[in-house]
Each structure stands twice: as C-alpha cells, then as structure tokens.
Amino acid sequence: MLILAGQGNPGAKYAKNRHNAGFLLLDRIHNVHGFGPWRAKFESDVSEGAVDTPNGRVKVLLMKPQTYYNESGRAMSKACTFYKVDGQAVTVLHDEIDLAPGRVRVKRGGGHSGNNGIRSAMAHLTGDFRRIRVGVGHPGDKSMVMPYVLSDFSKADLDWFVPLSDAICKALPFLLAGDDERFQTEVMRLAPAPKHDPKQAGRPGTE
C-alpha cells in the first residue's frame, strides 16, 4: 500500500485556503482516478483505490488528516502502523511558499524548512518520506506568511492551480512507479508555471 497524504486543515472555512493545497489535490486525484468513498479512519478522511502504473497496478490510500496541519504526522503514523509500512511508502502533498506559484518539486528527505506539517511528519514517521512541494509564492514579508497561506486561492491562482491539479493526476502513475523525475517533468510539461506578475500581491518565492 502506498499512501498519498495531503496537508491541510479540516472544516469549511479552510477548504479553499492555500494551506489546503494538499487536500485539494487529493480531491482531484480521488475524482479522476475513481477512488472509493471517503470514510473516517486514522484521525483522517481516507479513500482507497488502485492506479495503473508502468510497473503494474498499485494500491493507494488517500488520506486527509483531520488533526490540523501542524499535527498531521500523527495521523500518517497510524496509517503506516496499520499497513506495516514506513515513511518510504508515504508521499506528502503540500503548499510551498519558497517556490514560485505553479512550480512543483519532488523531494525525499531533507529538512522541514519551517513547515510545521512537515516537521510533524518527520517526528512521527520512520524512513524518508517523499514530498510534492507545490509553489504558492511568498507574500513578501515574514509577518504576512500565516495570513497569506490561510487565505483562499485567488481567482488568478486558480488559473494555474486547476491545470496543475489535472497535470498531477495525469502524471501520477510515474510517481507511484517511483520515477520522480519523470513525474516532475510531465507535470511541468503539461502545466508550465505562470510568469510572475509583479502587480500581484506577494513575490514569487525561490527555487
């Protein structure tokens, strides 16, 4: 069993926040790849399914921890214990302020870079988990980061986020087959990151 865990906060008021990019991506994967109904388990909303990959059909668990963003590792650990896997089987999808809007980077291991959800995952999982870092840009001032990520995606954001979600769904078989480089290349080919408009709020972030 491979586990795709989104980062986000439960509840309607957070549903369209930038910080809920991971949840939103899982919702799209759920619909495109025909996963089963969502149900409550592992302090999460979870859904099981299978995806055809270049290496054969793979069983996948989608999970949206309901512990709130900063405690999400606790829920992931429960799923790993149940399926008798370690962090190597987990891919965490999350927003990344240090990447320009629409940029995607795949990473395994490394530090948390101040992301408390990743910090929690590192504290609760054994083995290096994989991260899908989805750039949302930076508001330009450290004091504005929390209000920025807890604000909804703007209409301009959706112009790149929706195509990016579709690209991630199409490229997902490569990720599940372990070909991270091909996955990232396909995503950026299908949904190139937009050029940053300096008139928009926030700065693009860094690589």
Q: Which residues are catalytic?
A: 19
The one-character DSSP state at 152 is B
Residue 124, phi then psi, degrees to nearest 5: -105, -20
Residue 142 CB burial class (10 angstroms; 0-12, 13-18, ≥19): exposed
Angle at which helix 180-190 crosses helix 155-176, to 10 degrees, equals 150
Sheet holding 2-6, edge to edge: 39-41, 44-53, 56-65, 2-6, 90-96, 130-135, 104-108
Hey, what are 110's tokens?
């490394």
Strands (E), 54-89: 56-65
